[in-house]
Amino acid sequence: MRATLKLDDDLVGAARQLARQQGVTLGQVISQLARQSLAAKAPLKVRNGAQLFVPKAGVSKPDLQVVNQLRDEA
């Protein structure tokens, strides 16, 4: 389907760059990004005003040792 959209220049530039990197058209990138944005997502979990980290399904949660190691490397 064809549609005319008015997009900000910075968004078009970023989408064009993604299209070049992925070897696809600008329209395909815009469609892919729109699908990802519109996909049903679980509501954000917040505790004490801070957003909680929720890992993707099938991915192990980082343990405190890994978190401390990453903090120390920074």
pLDDT at 62 over 80: no
pLDDT digits (tens, 9 = 90+) for 43-58: 778 899 998 877 778 8
Taking alpha carbons only, the member of 38, 25, 31, 24 closest to residue 3 is: 31
Q: 3-7, 27-31, 34-38, 54-58 — which is least confidently predicted?
A: 54-58
Indicate yes or no: pTM above 0.75.
Answer: no
Task: Please report the beta strands in 1-74, taking only residues with DSSP state E, as ranges in sequence order.
Answer: 46-47, 50-51
